[in-house]
Amino acid sequence: MKKLILFLGLLVSMLVLAACGTAEENDGAENEEVEDKVWADIQERGEIVVGTAGTLFPASYYPEDSDELTGYNVEVFREIADRLDVDIKFEEMAYDAMLSALQSGRVDIIQAGPREESREKFAFSEPVKYSYVTMIVRADDLSGIETLEDLEGKVAGGAATTVYSEIARKYGAEVKTYGNVTNDAYLRDVANGNTDVVINDYYLQSLALTAFPELNITLHPDLKMHPTTNNVVMKKEATVLLEKINEIVADMKEDGTLTELSAEFFGGLDVSKEPDEEIIEIEGIE
């Protein structure tokens, strides 16, 4: 009889422990969803809010005579929203305002390249675009710039907080900052001598040039530097959203969606793959 009571007691204990383990596992799965308030809010709204410029060809812009926002970044965002099964809303803003808008919760995601300081505050997906940095200069004299050291004393047009402006300052250039203006404002300033150079993404600049063939500007023929990526960025605590977007980005690379979008907006080039170029590494620049 005592053995029977002992056996029954052990059996009850095992069942209780098993039930507790199952409850804890379920709680853990539920807590993962609860802890990612960003994803929970997106699901509740049925909509993801995206910060984008709306002024930068071919990444985020309005075609001539159209009120429909498009561009590589925009269409990548639309595809992500579609695969998340939510609607999408775009908030247009200057690049310098995007991280603060993300931090405040005004937007859910943006696109940007990771840097050490921003990695501490935000989460970055796998890259949706690879590139490197180059310069737009005056065509007739390369704005007097043969090497990076020749940037000293020059005026570079750009946003205040980008890696491009950090490169300009590192080599002694003064940075003239702009609001959320279209590409032509930067390019015309180089052509007319108000600035000397625009340091920016190779693919974006090469295509921007094609829109203004009348301007006295060109890509610098020799200076290719600082490999970069563009990633989907969200709050650090958005762990579930990050996992979902990384899965989607991987699928978009695998099924050719990113390659197709790249070809559409970058003249047949594939920015979803790392460029096969000899790129200058700049020490001290992230």
The residue that leads in pLDDT, 32 or 130, is 130
The residue that leads in pLDDT, 213 or 29, is 213
Same CATH topology for 37-130+230-265 and 131-226? yes
Average pLDDT score, the chain = 88
Alpha helices for 108-232 (secondary structure H)? 116-121, 163-170, 183-192, 202-210
pLDDT above 60 (res 113): yes
Kindly report, residue by residue over 159-215, the tens digit of the pLDDT. 888 899 999 999 999 999 988 888 889 999 999 999 999 999 999 888 888 888 999
Question: pLDDT-based confidence at 116, cuts 50/70/90?
Answer: confident
* Topology classification of domain 37-130+230-265: D-Maltodextrin-Binding Protein; domain 2 (3.40.190)
- pLDDT for 4: 38
Asked if 215 and 187 count as a contact pair (C-beta separation under 8 A), the reply is: yes
- pLDDT for 125: 98
Give the start-to-end residue ranges of the domains of the chain.
Answer: 37-130+230-265, 131-226
Give me the mean pLDDT over the 10-35 stretch: 44
Give the 3-state secondary structure of residue 251: helix
- pLDDT for 96: 85
pLDDT above 60 (res 124): yes
Kindly report, residue by residue over 127-139, the tens digit of the pLDDT. 999 999 999 999 9
Please state which of the ranges 7-11, 45-49, 204-208 shows the lowest mean pLDDT.
7-11
- pLDDT for 161: 83
- What does the alpha-carbon distance between residue 126 and residue 242 come to, in Å, rounded to a whole number? 9
- pLDDT for 118: 87
- pLDDT for 182: 84
User: Phi, psi (5° rounding) for residue 259?
Assistant: -65, -40
Burial class (CB in 10 A: 0-12, 13-18, 19+), 200: buried
- State the pTM of this model: 0.77
- pLDDT for 3: 39
Sign of CA dihedral 256, 208, 143, 215: positive
Query: Degrees (nearest 5) of the Cα angle 265, 110, 28?
Result: 125
- What does the alpha-carbon distance between residue 85 and residue 48 come to, in Å, rounded to a whole number? 10
- pLDDT for 183: 82
Question: pLDDT-based confidence at 8, cuts 50/70/90?
Answer: very low
- pLDDT for 101: 97
Helices (H) and strands (E) in the chain, counts: 10, 9
Q: Among 3.30.70.100, 2.30.33.40, 3.40.190.10, 3.30.1490.20, what is the CATH number of 131-226?
A: 3.40.190.10
